[in-house]
Each structure stands twice: as structure tokens, then as C-alpha cells.
Amino acid sequence: MTALVPRDALTAWVRVRRHAVPRAMIEEATAARLAGDWRAACAAAGVLIGADGADGADLAPYADDLRHLAPDLMRWHLPRDTAGGDTTLAPQALVVLAHRAATYLAVATPRFTRSAQRVTLLVTTNLNERWHHRTLDWTSARHLWDAREADRLLYRTPGPDAAPEPAAVDLHLVRLGLLSPTDLHPLIGPLLEPFAAPMPPNRPDATVRVRCGGEWHELGWEHGRMRMPHTDEERRREQALRVLGGEVHGCFAAEWGWTVRSVRLPKRLEAQRRDLLLCMLHGDLAGVTARLDAGLDPRVRDPDGRSLLHLLPCVDWRPGWPDLLRRLLAAGLPIDDRDHLGRTPLHAAVQDDGSAELIRALLAAGADRNGVDLPASLAL
């Protein structure tokens, strides 16, 4: 371990830094902020804005704070649950950014872990009547969210005897050569250049090879289907064997394992599946589309048994998400598929704060509405 962070936790933070704040999100939010449109910056960074603040308080006293708010930088530093390798935001936390005129400007994290990673910016007069289970005070840590003070990160990073905080993790990642400064947020990476260790040379992804029938076969992706040195007739025979309860091996076990979490995948394929799911979970619609364009099979499931259809609330705030819905349905994903909790994608959209547009789109695609309590405010 390092002086502050165990090495296994650093592995989780590498995944956080690569996926949790996508580069496209940073670029869009930065462009909007520099253009003077903080609301558009928040929209680009997946930050919902409370209607003129909660409790009747308004946003006017925070005009200067909001003008310099970097919502993508704020998201970068928000607390996360990294136990077990998770990358999601710590749920039910309220982070106080500023305090003016007996009110508080704060951001609330999602209600549930592994749910859509949108957060809510709000103004409140009372910190004790919220559904959050912990409150963090960032009023004296403006370098975590105010673009004007981002360069003060170095002065705020704790020493070897201090308690760890997410802001210190980036320093460890570059010192150990786990990430390059260019992999970090652009307001942070240049500050850590002097501390960066040499990175190992970039190597292209190794070919996926599996032992199959006494031989080594190479696997790849093409048009949403696993490419392997077997005929369609051999595929059908193995599928029939599996239906009858027989055991499948080699290439066919890998193909089946891609869609069934209980079947072990080769390490390289597991990394590809995790990469696709993390892009979806963190709202990286461009990343998801690029991976599907590269041929990856969209019929994956996360550890909770959710398909990409169940995860649509994670991306339904990004322009172009209806194209992904149509693509997934065209690829054969069942509209009423169920996760480990028995929820269909429509259930997930309602319970995980999916947009009204997503709920309507799922209904229009034929989703079964029986057993789903649709929001009363939804105009159908």
C-alpha cells in the first residue's frame, strides 16, 4: 500500500478516474462554463438543478459561486464507494458548497448505489431535514469545485500522516505510474506533472485466446457477435447441447459467459464487459456507442443482472439516447427482460429516476406496464 491508500483501493480508483467523469462530459461542461452558461455546464455534467432551490430559498445569493462552478470538477471529487471495486458515487450524501444569508448551496448524491449517477444542486435552509445520511462541508474546500481555486489542490493534499481523501488519490496514481497526468481532469493533471512516474509503454490489447478442443483459438468481435473459428452449424449444435443440460467448453463457453454472469469469462473478455458496463453506468453514451460500433455484443449484464436496457436511466440525459434504445431493441434485447430483483427495464426507469421521455419510449416499444406504478405526473 501507499502511505495513504491500500493498493487494491488504488485499482478501484484507476477505474473511477477512467470512467466516472467521461472526457466528453468534461469538454462539454467546460465549454459551457467558459461561455458563461453555468446551467448548461451542469446539464452537461449530469447535475440536476432544484427549482429555484428547496425550502423557498432562491439561487440569487450564489450568483458568483455558480458562475465559477465547475460541475465536472465537483463530480470528479464527490465521495465514492470504492469497496469491492465499485466506482459509483456514495449514495445519500449532501455536500455543502457555500453558505450565504442563512441558506446553503449543496449537491445531493443519488439515493441508491449503482443507480443513475446524476446529482442534484439545491439551496436549502435546513441541513437536517434531508434524506441524506451524511453531510460533507466543502465550504472551505473550494478547490474541489470552484474553477478559480482548482490550482490550490497541491496546497490542500494531506501529508503522509493525514487521513486519506479522494483529492489525494490522484497524486498517488501518478506517482506510482498507474495513470498519466493526461488521464486526469484537465484542471488537475498539469498540477501533478512534476510528480508523475514514467508510464509503461502502451501495448495494444492482447488477443483473446481460449483453449478449445485441444487447440488455442483466437476470439474477437464483429457486428455484435463473437468472432470465432467455428461454423454456424457448430454454434447451433453447442446451443442445443446447452439447452439439454450438457456442458459447453472453449469458445462456446466464452460466448455464453458474455451474457451470463455465473459463467466465468477469460480475463480479457471480462475486462471488456466491465469497460462497456462502466461506460453505461457513468453516462458515457459516446463510449458505449463506440464500443458497440467496434462489434461488442450488447447482451451483457451487470452484477445485479441488469441489461443495458435496465441501465438506460444512466444515459437518458445525454443527447442521442433514443438511438441507443432503438439499437438495443434491434439487437434483440427483450423489452421485458428481468434483473435479479425481477424488475423489467420499465420498472428500472420508474424506480431509478429515469426521465419521463424514457418511460414513454419504453411503453411505446411495447413494455408491459402491469405491476409498474407509473408517476402520477407522467402525461401519457
Determine which of 5-14, 107-116, 138-147, 210-219 has the lowest per-residue pLDDT on average. 5-14
Residue 203's pLDDT is: 59
Residue 173 and residue 82 share a domain: yes
Instruction: Check pLDDT > 70 for residue 340.
Output: yes
DSSP one-letter string for 116-130? ---EEEEEES-TTSS
Residue 263 and residue 190 share a domain: no
Instruction: Check pLDDT > 90 for residue 280.
Output: yes
Residue 98 and residue 25 share a domain: yes
CB distance 45 to 305 below 8 Å: no
CB within 8 A of 42, min separation 6: which ones?
29, 48, 49, 69, 71, 121
- Nearest CA to 138 out of 77, 87, 179, 199 is that of 77
**Residue at 221 is within a domain:** no
Residue 377's pLDDT is: 72
Boundaries of domain holding 191: 7-195
Residue 298 and residue 150 share a domain: no
Residue 174 and residue 32 share a domain: yes
Residue 146 and residue 67 share a domain: yes
Residue 310 and residue 186 share a domain: no
Residue 101 to residue 86: CA distance in whole angstroms: 38
Can you give 171-183 as a three-state secondary structure string?
A: HHHHHCCCCCHHH
Residue 118 and residue 18 share a domain: yes
> pLDDT tens-digit profile of 234-269?
999 988 988 888 888 899 999 999 998 888 899 999
* Domain CATH for 270: 1.25.40.20
- Nearest CA to 97 out of 134, 136, 130 is that of 136
* All three cell numbers of 213: 478442443
CB distance 41 to 110 below 8 Å: no
- Nearest CA to 310 out of 135, 168, 116 is that of 116
**Residue at 245 is within a domain:** no
CB within 8 A of 177, min separation 6: which ones?
196, 197, 198, 199, 200
**Residue at 373 is within a domain:** no
Residue 128's pLDDT is: 74
For the residues 64-69, what does the mean pLDDT come to? 97
Length of the chain: 380
Residue 271 and residue 173 share a domain: no
**Residue at 150 is within a domain:** yes
Among residues 153, 171, 195, the one where a domain terminates is: 195
> pLDDT tens-digit profile of 167-206?
678 998 999 999 999 999 999 999 999 999 988 776 556 5
CB distance 58 to 51 below 8 Å: no
Instruction: Check pLDDT > 60 for residue 53.
Output: no
**Residue at 204 is within a domain:** no
Residue 27 and residue 148 share a domain: yes
Among residues 175, 195, 215, the one where a domain terminates is: 195
* All three cell numbers of 96: 455543502
**Residue at 167 is within a domain:** yes
CB distance 282 to 117 below 8 Å: yes
CB within 8 A of 370, min separation 6: which ones?
none
Q: How many CB atoms lie within 10 A of CB 34?
A: 10
For the residues 5-12, what does the mean pLDDT come to? 78
Residue 277 to residue 320: CA distance in whole angstroms: 18
Mean per-residue pLDDT over the chain, rounded: 88
Number of structural domains found in the chain: 2
* All three cell numbers of 204: 495494444
* All three cell numbers of 14: 484507476
CA 353 to centroid of chain Cα atoms: 15
Can you give 59-73 as a three-state secondary structure string?
A: CHHHHHHHHCECHHH
Residue 173 to residue 14: CA distance in whole angstroms: 7
CA 204 to centroid of chain Cα atoms: 24
Residue 82's pLDDT is: 85
Residue 322's pLDDT is: 97
**Residue at 247 is within a domain:** no
Among residues 162, 177, 195, the one where a domain terminates is: 195
Q: Provide the whole-model pTM.
A: 0.90
Residue 356 and residue 279 share a domain: yes
Q: How many CB atoms lie within 10 A of CB 40?
A: 15
Residue 190 and residue 308 share a domain: no
Instruction: Check pLDDT > 50 for residue 6.
Output: yes
**Residue at 227 is within a domain:** no
The residue type found at 280 is M
Map residue 296 onto helix, strand or coil: coil
